[in-house]
Structures are given as structure tokens and as C-alpha cells.
């Protein structure tokens, strides 16, 4: 994806979200929200949203300083005008048992021209993780903030703490800018992906710090034109395309860039993961460049043999086609001797893999690379010695 596209997008979004001085303002406290984090303020938040949504001028929904308890809530569109949600306080989740099995905590559906600035979401996920570890019957869990079928969205300066599951989900959206967010969960917290993108186009993620128990950023089927830059990842499972190919008829992923980012102590750096089963999905036109790896278990990895518990993969071969993937100027240290792993599909070998200026070491000595069913080229200095 060309950088000028991103620059134009940021200018466009900045223009869209300039809120005029005569914008209507709706303070959740005015609708009955109580600070302190103990009294249910869900109704007040929904009433403030409804007022902002039907406003005939640009509107601001305001969450002042303090701690506000909000249960599972759906903020529906479409709305008449653009809406800015300014959060100076903290929104806290209730006990996980009262969240039900909807799968969400804060959900935006069919909204456009909505921006969220600042604030903290505290999902208090530790009790839910403990329930899962205990083997007891637990609810399905909740993603902290989700956008479904939304467009022209900005999320800026938001902090998300201890989500039960994924922190921020962008599903079936267009033109979403995520910038300067901070996402925090313990490295052993299960399924707490930082940001999950799927079925969306024109998403940018910049200037963000993500440390979780799962992928820092996970990229699902149908993702196009995704740009990630100046991201700090770790702990976590890295930035992952996939897993893809679970279903036979599944959309692919294309035009993805990860640039100028750092990975510290993560299990993976940049990863492509696909199921070892028949699928017509694909991954193409991907660029990983200008990346620093520090004590990363597998800095570069393609795994096309994903099959949990060895079930549902009759031929142990992935139908997902991986092609035109560039790794450029990636440097740092690996926690495993195999710093580069290309474990591609026997029936659909990786093609067009390009390695340029790679320098990855293992405990101050030479690392290794592993290749299965991969075709490509290398240029510049490539360490460890490339098997591509």
C-alpha cells in the first residue's frame, strides 16, 4: 500500500472530525451517569448516545473524569451527523457473569463519522480468565469494543485494560484510523488479542503500544489495504495474518504493510498462519519492513500447518495461497535458533517471497532458517543464511 494513500486518508479523517464550536454536547452525567464505578450508568450512556445520534448538527458525547460502570451496550446508527466521543474518565465493566453470552461489551453498529478520543476501558478480565482456567462453565466472554459495518471511524488515545477477549475489533468496516492507543493485558491471559481486523478495508493502526496474551494485531479474512506503523508489540503473539483457511470458501487478505515497528519479548514477530485443510483463501501483496526484534521467539514465521489437536485436517495440506510477501530491513535477536521459518503448504507452495537486508542473531551467534515448499529471492545481506 502506498504511503501517499495513508497521508491523504489522515488529512481526510482530520477534516471529517474537526468539530465546530457550535456542536451540540451531551454529557453522560446530565443523563444520570454516576461516578464511582458501582452504580450502573448504562442507561445514561445510551440516552446520551441517542441524543447525539439524532442531533441535526455535529455532536459531542462527553464522559467526564471519574469511573463509570457500564454493562453490555449497543450504540446503533446510522446517525444524522458526525459524532465525537470524548472520554476523560474510565469506563469499567461489571462482573463477567452479568455480561451474558452476547460476545461484546461496547458495540457500535452501522455508524459512520464517529471518533473516540482519550479515556480508559477497564474490562476487569482477570476473574473471567480464572473461570476459564478452573474448567468451570463460563460465559463465552466479551470483546471490549467492537465496530461492525462502520465507516470513517477514528479511535485515538484510548487505553484498554484487561479485556476478557479481544480488546478492539474492526469488522466489516471502511476507513478506520486507530492511533496512539495503549492496550494492556498479562502475557498469560487467553485470547486477549489487542486489535483484530477482518472483512475491512482502509484501516490504519499507528503509534500504538500493545502487550497482551495473544496476538498484538490479528488479521482475519477479507482484510484489504491495512497499514500498521510505529507499533510496539510485546508481550504477545506478534502481528499475525490468520489463522486463515478454516473454511473452504473464505475471502483472502491483500495489501498489508507493517513498517517501522518494534517487537519486544513476543512469541512471534510477523507471522502468517493458515489451517492445513482445503480452502480457496489467499495472502498476497504483503510488506514487512524496517522492524526491530528484541528477544522474539520466532521473528519471521509462516506456518501453513495449523491444526489444533490434529482434528479436521484430512490431508494435512493448506489450500491458502501465500504469494508476494516482502521482508526488508528486519534486525534484532531471536530466542530460538530458528529465526526464520517458512513452513509452507505442500500443495500450494509459498511464491514470490522476497528477503532483503535481514540480520537476526541467536544468543550472540548465528541463527538458522528453515524452509519447506517456498520459492523466492534474496538480496543484500541476509542473516541467518537464507534457505529461500
Alpha helices in the chain (DSSP H): 3-16, 42-54, 126-134
Q: For residue 154, which of 206, 194, 192, 193 has the smallest C-alpha distance?
A: 206
Residue 251, judged by CB atoms within 10 A of its CB (0-12, 13-18, 19+), counts as middle
214 a catalytic residue: yes
CB 121, CB 104: distance < 8 Å: no
Name the β-bridge partners of 20.
Answer: none
d(CA 21, CA 84): 13
Contacts of 137 (CB under 8 A, 6+ apart): none
Q: For residue 286, which of 321, 259, 324, 322 has the smallest C-alpha distance?
A: 324
230 a catalytic residue: no
The cell for 50 is 441517542
d(CA 216, CA 213): 8
Name the β-bridge partners of 218.
Answer: 196, 240
d(CA 335, CA 301): 13
Question: Choosing from 112, 122, 193, 214, which is the catalytic residue?
Answer: 214
Count other Cβ atoms within 10 Å, centred on residue 103: 18
d(CA 86, CA 197): 23
Q: Which helix (H) or strand (E) holds 353?
A: strand 350-362
d(CA 346, CA 162): 39
Question: Choosing from 112, 167, 237, 303, which is the catalytic residue?
Answer: 237
Q: For residue 339, which of 381, 372, 298, 303 has the smallest C-alpha distance?
A: 298
Q: For residue 149, which of 175, 173, 116 has the smallest C-alpha distance?
A: 173
**ω into residue 78 within 30 of 0, thus cis?**
yes
DSSP string, 173-185: -EEEEEES-EEE-
Active-site positions? 214, 237
Amino acid at each position: 500500500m502506498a504511503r501517499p494513500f495513508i497521508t491523504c486518508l489522515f488529512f481526510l479523517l482530520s477534516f471529517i472530525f474537526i468539530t465546530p464550536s457550535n456542536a451540540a454536547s451531551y454529557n453522560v452525567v446530565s443523563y444520570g451517569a454516576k461516578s464511582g464505578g458501582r452504580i450502573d450508568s448504562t442507561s445514561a450512556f445510551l440516552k446520551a448516545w441517542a441524543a447525539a445520534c439524532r442531533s441535526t448538527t455535529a455532536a459531542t458525547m462527553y464522559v467526564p473524569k471519574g469511573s463509570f460502570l457500564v454493562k453490555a451496550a449497543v450504540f446503533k446508527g446510522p446517525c444524522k451527523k458526525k459524532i465525537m466521543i470524548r472520554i476523560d474518565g474510565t469506563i469499567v465493566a461489571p462482573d463477567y457473569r452479568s455480561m451474558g453470552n452476547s460476545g461484546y461489551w461496547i458495540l457500535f453498529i452501522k455508524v459512520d463519522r464517529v471518533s473516540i478520543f482519550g479515556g480508559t476501558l477497564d474490562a476487569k478480565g482477570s476473574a473471567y480468565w480464572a473461570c476459564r482456567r478452573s474448567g468451570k462453565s463460563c460465559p463465552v466472554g466479551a470483546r471490549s469494543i467492537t465496530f461492525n459495518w462502520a465507516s470513517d471511524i477514528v479511535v485515538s488515545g484510548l487505553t484498554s485494560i484487561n479485556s476478557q477477549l479481544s480488546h478492539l475489533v474492526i469488522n466489516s468496516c471502511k476507513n478506520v484510523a486507530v492511533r496512539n492507543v495503549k492496550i494492556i493485558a498479562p502475557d498469560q491471559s487467553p485470547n486477549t488479542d489487542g486489535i483484530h481486523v477482518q472483512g475491512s478495508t482502509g484501516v490504519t493502526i499507528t503509534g500504538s503500544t500493545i502487550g497482551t496474551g495473544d496476538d498484538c494485531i490479528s488479521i482475519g479474512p477479507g482484510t484489504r489495504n491495512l497499514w500498521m506503523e510505529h507499533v510496539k508489540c510485546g508481550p504477545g503473539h506478534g502481528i499475525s495474518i490468520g489463522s486463515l483457511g478454516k473454511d473452504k470458501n473464505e475471502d483472502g487478505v491483500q495489501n498489508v504493510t507493517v513498517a517501522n515497528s518494534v517487537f519486544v519479548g513476543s512469541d512471534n514477530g510477523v507471522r502468517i498462519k493458515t489451517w492445513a485443510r482445503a480452502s480457496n483463501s489467499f495472502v498476497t501483496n504483503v510488506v514487512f519492513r524496517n522492524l526491530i526484534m528484541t528477544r522474539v521467539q520466532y521473528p519471521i514465521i509462516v506456518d501453513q500447518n495449523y491444526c489444533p489437536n490434529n482434528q479436521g485436517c484430512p490431508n494435512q495440506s493448506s489450500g491458502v495461497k501465500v504469494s508476494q510477501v516482502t521482508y526488508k530491513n528486519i534486525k534484532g535477536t531471536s530466542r530460538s535458533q530458528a529465526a526464520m521459518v517458512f513452513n509452507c503448504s505442500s500443495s500450494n507452495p509459498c511464491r514470490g517471497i522476497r528477503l532483503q537486508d535481514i540480520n537476526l542473531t541467536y544468543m550472540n551467534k548465528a541463527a538458522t532458517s528453515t524452509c519447506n515448499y517456498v520459492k523466492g529471492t534474496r538480496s543484500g545481506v541476509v542473516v541467518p543464511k537464507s534457505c529461500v
